[in-house]
A = this chain, B = another copy of it.
Amino acid sequence: MSNLEPAAQPLPQVSHRGRSAAPIASSNAEGEEVPEFDSFGIIGPRGPPPLREFLDIWDVNMLRRPDEVNTPQHSTHLYASDHLIVRRGQEFQLKVTFDRPYKPADDQFAVEFIIGDSVFLDDDDEREECVLNEVGVIYHGAYDDMSERPWNFGQFDYGVLDACLFIMDKAAMPITNRGDAIKVARKASAMLNSHDDDGVLVGNWSGDYTYGVAPTSWTGSTEILLNYSSSKTPVCYAQCWVYAAVFNTFLRCLGIPARVVTNFYSAHDNDGNLKTDVILDENGRIDKHRTKDSIWNYHCWNECYMSRPDLPQGFGGWQAVDATPQETSDGMYRCGPASVQAIKHGQICFPFDAPFVFAEVNSDVVFYSRNPRDGTLEPVKVNSSHVGRMVVTKVPGQDARRDITDQYKFPEGSPEERTVLEKAEEYGCHREKATPPEADVELDMPLMEVRVGDDFELKLEFNNTSDQARTVDVYVSGNVVYYTGVTSSEFLFKTPRVILDPKKAEKLVMEVRSQDYMRKLVEQANLHFIATGKVKETGQIITSMRVVTLHTPKLSVEVSGLAKVSEEMMVTVEFTNPFKFNLEDVYVRVEGPGVMPPKYKHYSLITAGSSLTWTEGFTPRRAGPTKLMASLDCAALRQVYGQAQLTVKP
């Protein structure tokens, strides 16, 4: 007797019989019973002919056309859909036609609804932005040298609402749970990534995107969601902002206020541990083999706005949710909703996944010196202000960014900050308690703004605050890194000795030439400089880190023609290859909410110094301000973006 099926075969389908009285409805597409509606006509045939005349229904009109009463009043006129879509907490009308005049005294009829949910965002501007705006901006780069990606959330595009409902069907999410915004957000954070559940997007950080679209190439969510719902197969590929952007579309599409946030220097893969460990050898040089943690240059997630009846009062409002699969978060490929207010106050005992988000913005970077003989690690420097350096999102109604770090943390060094960290430690977040003495030599590498392909100067600024001379042996390492902080290759390594007079500052300048790094560039073109060293006289360790996000050339996007609904216009995308090398296998994408569906072109070669010009017609389908957004992407040059604003007249 075998109780095992061969591995390659699917397991036999087991019916729900004996397990539940009826199958749990997890799709409106198949469930005839939800919502329940008994036509009164049915009562007739069961017994003898009725003595009085039953009221029969001829027609139910949901008044769903844009010119009828419901759609404008519910701000759902933007949805390209054949169904009536209404929002919570607000009246709507429907028109029932009976077979004869309705007699209130004799006739009774009932309409049954299934409702739920509580996600009302009180601020008009925020609600307008976080529910209705299809045009987004996602920040990246470095906190002191920020770049932005335009994004078409496209939550009202034709097919997008159906795709979002399909995602919940695919997750077999019971219909009865779909009124619960907490459950919807949590489930979707799992479903947006392909792990576990064949969800929407396949993550890929490898640099090899041969079998799909490079994460940097997408300009909006529509193409991804429509691909997913038609193919029913995960879409390739995503990195954090793609997950966050598509998740944002999902949430806004379902009327849950949502925004994309970017956290600069995000501690990752450490699962509630408040330390990121950097291991130095006995001379103060980084031990790359033993330094396994990485700090992402930035990480994007979402916030959605909702009440939290499952928590004590005061933890409603913005909730962090994250669809990017986190390898070590409890083995679970989903995250949140975690109350931002709970994170700020260190109340990380409340669901869901608050310790993980807390660590992303609050971890310390701890430098350890490793004794080579017995392997013991001694903490030599703790940097508590590096991680979670800044959290930003877009300002409602404007193309500007807003620093929301204070919603996640109290000010660095404040008494409240200390209290919060102690509270979090009570809930199992481990910190390094040692406070190694501050070195009396300071080291800083100031900000540089550098374009891809430029030669530039790396400056190291030393300051001897002691009244004695100091000699420092410095290790300067320049690395090409992924935006996840993971090193791809080292292109610069120098070991200067610096001699500092008492109370004196000293500057060290190193030439970095494009030929040193260009061949090794990956992806998002980040250079990571780390300088560490040991003060000879005191044995103290000094460290400094600098991320240089190389600026990419811009894509020119220009529109021409009369911006009016149903009138054809033209968009021209232009790009000149500014490099001394050719660009191969180049994809250019362009799209615009309400005006142009996603389109792309493939150019097999753009030779050094040459240009491309792509002109494409489009026809706005609705009035109002919008944007056309374009990207250019190839293996040698990524995240080249451009956009053009226009206001369409009715």
A residues bordering B, Cβ < 8 Å? Answer: 1, 3-7, 11-12, 14-22, 24, 36, 38, 43, 108-110, 112, 171-174, 176-177, 183, 186-187, 194, 196-197, 202-208, 211-213, 227, 231-237, 269, 271, 291-294, 309-312, 327-328, 330-331, 348-352, 355, 372-376, 426-428, 482, 484, 486-488, 522-523, 587, 600, 602
**Chain B residues in 8 Å Cβ range of A18:** 205-207, 482, 484, 486, 488, 522-523
Flag if A5 contacts B211 (CB, 8 Å): yes
- The chain B residue with its CB closest to the CB of A15 is B206
Known: A7-B232, A212-B3. Is A24-B328 also a contact (CB below 8 A)? yes
- The chain B residue with its CB closest to the CB of A109 is B374
Flag if A292 contacts B374 (CB, 8 Å): no
Find A196's partner among B24, B197, B271, B309 (CB 8 Å cutoff). B197
Flag if A174 contacts B328 (CB, 8 Å): yes
Q: How many copies of this chain are found per oligomer? A: 2
Flag if B11 contacts A234 (CB, 8 Å): yes
A267 → B minimal CB distance (Å) = 13
5 smallest beta-carbon distances between A and B, as pairs = A19-B205, A18-B205, A309-B428, A18-B482, A110-B374
Known: A14-B203, A187-B331. Is A235-B3 also a contact (CB below 8 A)? yes
Known: A109-B374, A174-B327, A202-B14. Is A24-B269 also a contact (CB below 8 A)? yes
Flag if B311 contacts A427 (CB, 8 Å): yes
**Chain B residues in 8 Å Cβ range of A484:** 18-20
Known: A20-B486, A486-B20. Is A236-B4 also a contact (CB below 8 A)? yes
Other than the given A108-B373, A110-B376, 8 more pairs (CB < 8 A) read A3-B211, A18-B206, A19-B484, A110-B373, A173-B331, A174-B328, A310-B355, A351-B351
**Chain B residues in 8 Å Cβ range of A212:** 3-4
Flag if A21 contacts B294 (CB, 8 Å): yes
**Chain B residues in 8 Å Cβ range of A196:** 196-197
Flag if B4 contacts A227 (CB, 8 Å): yes
**Chain B residues in 8 Å Cβ range of A350:** 349-351
A144 to B21, CA, bound (A): 25
- The chain B residue with its CB closest to the CB of A587 is B1
Flag if B351 contacts A11 (CB, 8 Å): no
**Chain B residues in 8 Å Cβ range of A7:** 231-233
Find A310's partner among B237, B372, B428, B522 (CB 8 Å cutoff). B428
A649 → B minimal CB distance (Å) = 35
- The chain B residue with its CB closest to the CB of A17 is B206
Flag if B236 contacts A3 (CB, 8 Å): yes
A30 to B363, CA, bound (A): 30
A241 → B minimal CB distance (Å) = 15
A20 to B484, CA, bound (A): 7
A427 to B177, CA, bound (A): 16
Of A16, A20, A227, A352, most buried by chain B (CB within 10 Å of CB) is: A20
Flag if B186 contacts A330 (CB, 8 Å): yes
Flag if B20 contacts A309 (CB, 8 Å): no
A301 to B15, CA, bound (A): 23
Flag if A331 contacts B174 (CB, 8 Å): yes
**Chain B residues in 8 Å Cβ range of A292:** 20-22
A229 to B206, CA, bound (A): 32
**Chain B residues in 8 Å Cβ range of A488:** 18
Of A171, A235, A374, most buried by chain B (CB within 10 Å of CB) is: A374
Flag if A312 contacts B349 (CB, 8 Å): yes
Flag if A291 contacts B21 (CB, 8 Å): yes
- The chain B residue with its CB closest to the CB of A315 is B349
A555 → B minimal CB distance (Å) = 19
A178 → B minimal CB distance (Å) = 10
Flag if B211 contacts A12 (CB, 8 Å): yes
Flag if A375 contacts B197 (CB, 8 Å): no
A480 → B minimal CB distance (Å) = 11
**Chain B residues in 8 Å Cβ range of A22:** 292
Flag if A328 contacts B177 (CB, 8 Å): yes
- The chain B residue with its CB closest to the CB of A271 is B177
- What would be 7 A-B contacts, judged by CB atoms less than 8 Å apart? A17-B207, A19-B203, A19-B482, A19-B484, A21-B486, A183-B330, A309-B428
**Chain B residues in 8 Å Cβ range of A232:** 7
A183 to B197, CA, bound (A): 20
Of A22, A292, A487, most buried by chain B (CB within 10 Å of CB) is: A292
**Chain B residues in 8 Å Cβ range of A36:** 375
Flag if B108 contacts A327 (CB, 8 Å): no
**Chain B residues in 8 Å Cβ range of A17:** 205-207, 486
Of A172, A349, A488, most buried by chain B (CB within 10 Å of CB) is: A349
